């Protein structure tokens, strides 16, 4: 149950276009990983590799020490939740649940029906008639109830409304508490989902630019607020970003190793110190110059 999932020196190319370059990652279980990146950076491709939906052009995908692709005994242990268009699907919600249960060795049918009830899913209706939010809820329900040792979730929950997303986040943590396993989540809704992550991986321009525990990452920067003159003087030796000036008060993101001594000195100067959100760090790391040379 706790074997690691690995990408070893993986390249992916479509025709001549390079999608991923020399990706090496190891996912440990039980943990929840946040896989972040801007649009088109290869997040879905990584999840597809881990789900055996595609084969790497070069390199290896291993579960434990065994190759994963087309491995009949390992593939059922990995569940991939991705946005499925139910537009032409006449199956009922209940049939979808029973179908998944038949294929998945650890599927919990009672839990699936319990979740469906909590999510107000009408299981007797054809999924074709489900709204996008309800379809996403059903897809996530299947992922949670699969109890697969590895569950991969790709950008499905943005289709749900805020209360449904909150319910999903709470249920995910609850599930991880009761049945610990490996979850890998890809999302653009960083600010509302960052509390889920044990580890954060950021993908940018075909490569991993960051792979670190969440708590370590958010200690890599702070938000300083205070009189502009004081803030500028205090931060002159640090990389900064996102300066905002209003009526002589400046707020700035400070990056680098933030020590207790740094925080103590800042507070002595009367500066307010706050933690940086993951979204701020992500934006800073993946910000690019536009065609006018501005970031």
Residue from 46, 77, 127, 140 that binds another protein (CB under 8 A)? 77
Task: Decide if residue 260 touches another protein (CB under 8 A).
Answer: no
Tell me: does residue 71 bind another protein (CB under 8 A).
Answer: yes
**Separation of alpha carbons 99 and 80, rounded Å:** 15
Does position 103 interact with another protein (CB under 8 A)? The reply is yes
Burial 230-265 (b: 16+ CB within 10 A, else e): bbeebbeebebbeeeeeeeebbbbbbeebeeebeee
Shortest distance, position 289 Cβ to another protein, whole Å: 28
Is residue 80 within the footprint of another protein (CB under 8 A)?
Answer: yes
Residues 150/142, Cβ–Cβ less than 8 Å: no
Specify the stretch interacting with another protein by CB under 8 A; choose among 50-58, 176-184, 191-199, 219-227.
Answer: 50-58
Residue of the chain from 65, 102, 124, 290 that contacts another protein (CB under 8 A): 102
Mind giving me the DSSP string for 224-241?
EEEEHHHHHHHTTTS-EE
**Near another protein in 18-47, by CB under 8 A:** 44
| Angle between helices 132-145 and 109-118 in degrees, nearest 10 | 150
Select the residue interacting with another protein from 55, 216, 244, 265 (CB under 8 A). 55
Asked if residue 72 binds another protein (CB under 8 A), the reply is yes
Q: Length of the chain, please? A: 295
DSSP state of 129: G
Binding mask 190-229 for another protein (x = CB under 8 A): ----------------------------------------
Cα separation, 144 vs 52, in Å, equals 19
Interface residues toward another protein, by CB under 8 A: 44, 48, 52-55, 69-72, 75-80, 82-83, 99-100, 102-105, 154
């Amino acid at each position: 149950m706790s074997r690691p999932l690995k990408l070893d020196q993986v390249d992916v190319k479509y025709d001549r276009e390079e999608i991923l370059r020399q990706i090496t990652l190891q996912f440990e279980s039980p943990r929840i990983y946040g896989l972040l990146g801007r649009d088109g950076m290869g997040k879905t491709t990584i999840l597809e590799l881990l789900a055996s939906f595609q084969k790497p052009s070069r390199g290896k995908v291993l579960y434990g020490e065994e190759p994963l692709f087309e491995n009949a005994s390992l593939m059922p242990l990995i569940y991939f939740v991705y946005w499925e268009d139910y537009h032409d699907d006449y199956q009922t919600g209940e049939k979808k649940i029973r179908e998944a249960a038949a294929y998945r060795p650890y599927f919990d049918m009672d839990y699936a029906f319990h979740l469906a009830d909590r999510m107000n899913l009408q299981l007797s209706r054809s999924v074709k008639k489900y709204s996008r939010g309800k379809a996403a809820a059903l897809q996530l329900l299947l992922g949670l109830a699969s109890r697969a040792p590895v569950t991969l979730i790709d950008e499905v929950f943005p289709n749900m409304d805020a209360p449904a997303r909150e319910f999903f986040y709470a249920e995910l943590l609850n599930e991880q508490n009761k049945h610990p396993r490996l979850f890998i989540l890809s999302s653009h809704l960083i600010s509302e989902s960052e509390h889920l992550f044990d580890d954060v991986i950021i993908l940018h321009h075909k490569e991993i630019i960051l792979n670190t525990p969440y708590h370590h990452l958010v200690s890599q920067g702070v938000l300083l607020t205070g009189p502009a003159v004081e803030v500028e003087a205090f931060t002159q030796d640090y990389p900064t970003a996102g300066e905002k000036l209003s009526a002589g008060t400046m707020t700035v993101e400070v990056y680098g190793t933030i020590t207790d001594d740094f925080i103590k000195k800042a507070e002595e100067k009367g500066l307010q110190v706050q933690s940086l959100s993951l979204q701020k760090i992500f934006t800073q790391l993946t910000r690019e110059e536009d065609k006018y040379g501005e970031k």
